[in-house]
Every structure is written in C-alpha cells, then in structure tokens.
Amino acid sequence: MADPRPEAQRPLDPDEEALVRALGQVMYVVPRTIDADMVGDRQLPLTEYTALMNLSEAPERRMRMHELANACYLSLSGMTRTIIRLESQGLVKRERCEEDARGWNAVLTDAGFARLEESWPSHLAAVRRRFLRHFEGLDLAELARAFRRAGAAD
C-alpha cells in the first residue's frame, strides 16, 4: 500500500474532491436508510433479504456457504450466523453437500420463498427511493461498470 511517490500525493482536483467528500453518503447513509426501510416495513434486515434473494436465483435455490458469503459481501463466519438466524425462522435449511461432505448447502424453503415474495416490493421501493431516483439522467450502465471495477480486488 505505502507508495508515497510524489505522483500519488498530487492533491485532488476540485471535482475529485467533491466526489470523495460525497462518497460517505453512499457508503454510510444509503445502506442504513435502505436497511431501516426494510426493517420498518417488513421486519427483514437487508443482510437477510440479500441472502434470501441470492438463494432464490440459484439453481435448485441452494448455494454453498462461501459462494453465498461472497454474493452477500459477508465473511464466511458472518454468513454462518446469518443463515442460523434465517434457519431459526424456518426460511432456510442446511443440507450436507453431496459431492463434498465438508460442505453445506443453504437451501431456501417454501416459507423463505414466500417471505421473499412478500418483501421484494419493499426492497424495490427502498432502492428506488434512497438510491436510484437520484441518478436519473446519468449513464447508469457506465456507472455500474465503474462500481464493479471499484469493488473488484485491485
């Protein structure tokens, strides 16, 4: 990380500076407001919604733990605990993996699928209201590419 070459230390130009100062809004405020909307509306925290949603899109509605952890931007241990919470609500169950007995699949139950169907409108509304509508008129596809680049390791 430490690479204190002069070039790297050139001060930000005003537009860069404005963007960096505004970054906190998207890093901190947006996730909290979306989560608060979901919890207030459907009692389903964003982390748990994200897990259910990823499972619902997977083949046979099941995923290995590390796969799901990645998809949810969570550590493996964080994912274990999230699945425990969902399991205790009957929304997910765990099944040993056929091909590798070390592995587990998190599997969406019918109750989990129902919970998701009941909750997605709330998530959609929150995402529109707290995020998407503020980007009208911008090139969303290009922006999406930039977001993905920023998240890619290096």
Question: Which letter does DSSP use for residue 99 in this model?
Answer: S
Judged by CB under 8 A, the stretch of 27-35, 60-68, 79-87, 102-110 that binds a copy of itself is 27-35
Q: Is 118 in the site for a copy of itself (CB under 8 A)?
A: no
Residue 5, classed as helix, strand or coil, is coil
Residue 103 lies near DNA (rule: CB under 7 A):
yes
Does 131 help bind a copy of itself (rule: CB under 8 A)? yes
Taking the CA atoms of 22, 27, 29 and 33 in sequence, report the sign of the dihedral they define.
positive
Residue with tokens 């070390």: 102
**CA-to-CA dists, residue 46 to 2, 41, 53, 144, angstroms:** 35, 11, 10, 20
Query: Cα(63)–Cα(126) distance, rounded to whole angstroms?
Result: 26
Which partner in a copy of itself, DNA, none is near 24 (CB below 5 to 8 A by kind)?
Answer: a copy of itself
User: In the complex with DNA, which residue's Cβ is closer, 100 or 136?
Assistant: 100
**Residue 20: CB minimum distance to a copy of itself, A:** 6
42 binds DNA (CB under 7 A): no
Among 38, 83, 92, 108, binds DNA (CB under 7 A): 83
Cα torsion 128, 133, 135, 138 to 10°: value is 110
Name the residues that contact a copy of itself, by CB under 8 A: 1-4, 8-9, 12, 15-16, 18-31, 37, 40-41, 50, 73, 121-122, 124-132, 134-135, 138-152, 154
